[in-house]
Amino acid sequence: MSDKSTIPFGPQHPVLPEPIHLKLVVEDEKVVEAYPAFGFVHRGLETLAQKKDFNQMVYVVERVCGICSCMHGQDYCEAIEELMGVQVPVRAEYLRTIWAELHRIHSHLLWLGLFADAFGFENLFMQTWKIREKIMDILEATSGNRVIISVNIVGGVRKDINSEQAKWILKELDDVEEQLKDINDVVMNNYTVKERTVGIGVLTKEEAYELGATGPMAKGSGVDLDLRTTGYAAYKYLDFEPIVEKDGDSYARNLVRMREIFQSIDLIRQALSKMPEGDINVPVKGNPPAGEVISRLEQSRGEVVYYIKSNGTKFLDRLRIRTPTFANIPALLKILPGSQLQDVPVLILTIDPCISCTER
């Protein structure tokens, strides 16, 4: 009988983009148990809600995670707007949707580059991030910044997209789509990728549901869950279906993300073609009334939940954020036991972890 050993995995590791910290119980090269250790990058952002007013908190929540910053700001603003009974203009809803989908594309492309780097595909890593630069250029041209674009405000958005910019965005997206089609064939049909992902880290549909998995982690296991179908922002005006795969392995989760990139490109095209003229925000006066609200939306990694409790002043009583990576940790701990130690980095990357979000 082999002896069991407990080894640390992270917070620093060549493959990991963020400092995730796990304790792995291994028997030879086989993982038999896995335990998470949180708190390495805790910043206390939720407590700031008691010290910054509700408008200033838009800037704070955008810094929960840089890659998802636009959607963090959008979710927070939608929660405050629900508390205050504010109806944002339709054009603002479309603009929020466009920027959210641009963030989804650049998040998935960032993940794809890191995924390629984990396999040692350096050229694919650089090519993927080269394509991602086009998305970053669009964000910079339309908002003034590349990552934390700070376009959301309570009552709408502070920036607009004119007709010339819309034409240029469509042209750039056509180019991105063509390049991604070539990369998609290379990545998803590659022998090494399939050997390391097909049948590895299987999570059944029942397990995904019971463990509360979200995003591509759940969709890759056949769970038809996408909050965009609830119709928040401009999604109620757009035609799409959730991307779902049924195999539940690492390959299926990767395939969901690849297909979502193409879906996001299509959603942006629809939004730009249907977006009406009009105001981009409405004046908001006063403070949120005393009450509680829960707001949810679909980030690139899955469902993010904002709970807000207000007391009638400009300062909130409580802000609580449930991020998608936090929801996916139980599912990760489920698929790690039984895997080989060499597969652990790849399995972790298939949930696209954001520890900055998780620990805040």
Identify the CATH number of the domain in which residue 220 sits.
1.10.645.10
Enter the pTM of the model.
0.94
13 domain-assigned: no
Give the separation between CA 57 and CA 343, rounded to whole angstroms. 40
Residue whose structure tokens are 């109806």: 87
Does 36 fall in a domain?
no
In a domain, 223, yes or no: yes
User: What radius of gyration, in Å, describes the C-alpha atoms of the chain?
Assistant: 21
Provide the domain count of the chain: 1
Q: How many residues does the chain have?
A: 360
Residue 22: inside a domain? no
Tokens of 344: 């652990």
Residue-wise pLDDT tens digits, 339-360: 888 888 888 888 888 877 777 7
Average pLDDT over residues 25-48: 83
What is the helix (H) or strand (E) element at residue 95, kind and residue range?
helix 90-118
- What's the confidence (pLDDT) of residue 193? 85
Q: Which two tokens stand for residue 353?
A: 């972890």
Inside any domain, residue 5 = no
225-240 per-position pLDDT tens digit: 999 999 999 999 999 9
Residue 32 resides in a domain = no
Residue closest to 353 by CA, chosen among 317, 333, 324, 331:
324
In this predicted model, what pLDDT tens digit does every residue of 89-147 receive, in sequence order? 999 999 999 999 999 999 999 999 988 888 888 888 899 999 999 999 999 999 988 88
168 in any annotated domain: yes
CA dihedral 330, 331, 336, 338 (to 10 degrees): 110
The C-alpha angle 272, 59, 304, rounded to 5 degrees, equals 65
Domain that holds residue 275: 44-327+336-359
- CA dist., res. 48 & res. 358, Å (int): 16
In a domain, 37, yes or no: no
